[in-house]
Amino acid sequence: MSDDTEMLELPLGDWHRAKGARMVSFAGYSMPIQYEGIMAEHTWTRSSAGLFDVSHMGQLILSGDNVTAALEALVPGDISALKEGRMRYSLLLAHDGGVLDDLMITATPTGLYVVVNGAVKHQDIAFLRANLPDNIAINHLEDRALLALQGPKAVEAISRIVPGVDQLFFMEADIFLWGEIPLWISRSGYTGEDGVEISVAVEHVTELADALCAQLEVKPIGLGARDSLRLEAGLPLYGHDMDPSTDPVEGNASFAISKRRRAEGGFHGSERILKALSDGPGRKLVGFTVEGKVPVREGAPVFEGETQVGVVTSGGFAPSVGAPIAMGYVAAAHIAPGTALEAEVRGKRVPLTVASMPFIPHTYHRRGKAQ
């Protein structure tokens, strides 16, 4: 991230500045990295409700005859099994099985609603146009903003102004009315906390952000806390923890390969990916706890003795853990939790221990789970 220059503006750009945000460049946009401080914003989200502007992300509608089967050629998830209003995390795969993006797919009455990462949304759209049949329409919803309200009090806060949202469970979505304004709301997010994501017409987003922040539980939260929250939750950041050189098995995302697709294959790179599932990957994305107080950042090499066995892809101080944590790739022989390794930081060795992820428990509001 760097100070913002010649960046695209979010619909809420002026709103963020009026709230005191420090703006930086991210994914080609001028975006808020913090308001009152990353630590305070992180802690607030874990205990109350934080409002994130994620309007830089791409919102797409894919439609046409046999659209689910067409998309299944490019992703390893069982998309045809999705009922209307249900969502699935999946991966857009290159022809060789490398991960081009991670994305969310929701079945809707008008087609598949797909949310892709902002930094690669135009590449994703081009890839989809080149690899989906001609009869599949791709509608980029550039007139929609996207907000994420996350934290244990998020649903309570939004339900006060948008009745009925509390009836959703994790990975479910529907249309709700805020007065006369329709909102597409999913019970999802990328912090490990309960919460919602809200798609709203650009012309109404400022009013909606004001209405949400008028709730005592809600404060605006920047990119800095979003990163520390997702790292604690063991959630990869595309372009850092996964990229086209990574397959889903290496990327610790085997859960995104549905049972039917494992049996049938038929998706990009399926031969390579299914072989990695059966034989095990040569390397894998793992979590690390870090001894001491020195954060271990992206790019730090990881060693066993004098042999480099991996690299850190994300790292930083974890406020809820109270210590530095990281994630990165290590050779298969070193992926067991409890394995002692070292990272090199500014010429010095910092002890690491391979750890299970997430670093803190997820608190999603799952259907059928005792509340």
Return mean pLDDT, the chain.
96
pLDDT digits (tens, 9 = 90+) for 317-335: 999 999 999 999 999 999 9
Mean pLDDT of 289-300: 96
Q: How confident is the model at residue 1 (pLDDT cuts 50, 70, 90)?
A: very low
Instruction: Kindly report whether the peptide bond that precedes residue 358 is cis, defined as omega within 30 degrees of 0.
Output: yes
105, two tokens: 């797919």
In 3D space, the residue among 53, 120, 95, 113 whose CA is nearest the CA of residue 104 turns out to be 113
Checking if the pLDDT of 100 tops 80, the result is yes
Checking if the pLDDT of 2 tops 60, the result is no
Mean pLDDT of 15-32: 97
In 3D space, the residue among 190, 203, 101 whose CA is nearest the CA of residue 145 turns out to be 203
Phi, psi of 226 (to 5 degrees): -60, -40
Q: How confident is the model at residue 260 (pLDDT cuts 50, 70, 90)?
A: very high
362, two tokens: 């997820």
> How far, in Å, CA of 62 to CA of 112, rounded?
5
Checking if the pLDDT of 25 tops 50, the result is yes
pLDDT digits (tens, 9 = 90+) for 41-64: 999 999 999 999 999 999 999 999
* Contact in structure between 240 and 313 (CB atoms under 8 Å): yes
In 3D space, the residue among 209, 202, 219 whose CA is nearest the CA of residue 48 turns out to be 219
How would you classify the pairing of strands 340-345 and 348-355? antiparallel
> How far, in Å, CA of 268 to CA of 192, rounded?
29
274, two tokens: 């299914």
* Contact in structure between 88 and 171 (CB atoms under 8 Å): yes
The fraction of the chain above a pLDDT of 90, given in percent, is 97
Checking if the pLDDT of 235 tops 80, the result is yes
Checking if the pLDDT of 155 tops 60, the result is yes
Checking if the pLDDT of 154 tops 50, the result is yes
Checking if the pLDDT of 371 tops 90, the result is no
In 3D space, the residue among 342, 120, 364 whose CA is nearest the CA of residue 235 turns out to be 364
The residue among 266 and 2 whose pLDDT is bigger is 266
Q: Which helix (H) or strand (E) holds 270?
A: helix 270-279
**Per-residue pLDDT, 6:** 74
SS3 state at 262: helix
Sequence letter at residue 218? V
The whole-model pTM stands at 0.96
**Per-residue pLDDT, 52:** 98
Domains and CATH numbers, the chain: 2-55+143-232 (3.30.1360.120), 282-355 (2.40.30.110)
Q: How confident is the model at residue 4 (pLDDT cuts 50, 70, 90)?
A: very low
**Per-residue pLDDT, 368:** 82
Mean pLDDT of 154-172: 98
Mean pLDDT of 117-139: 98
Q: Which helix (H) or strand (E) holds 177?
A: strand 173-178
Angle separating helix axes 154-161 and 205-213, nearest 10 degrees: 120
For the residues of 33-80, what is the DSSP string, one character each?
EESS-HHHHHHHHHHSEEEEE-TTSEEEEEESTTHHHHHHTT-SS--T
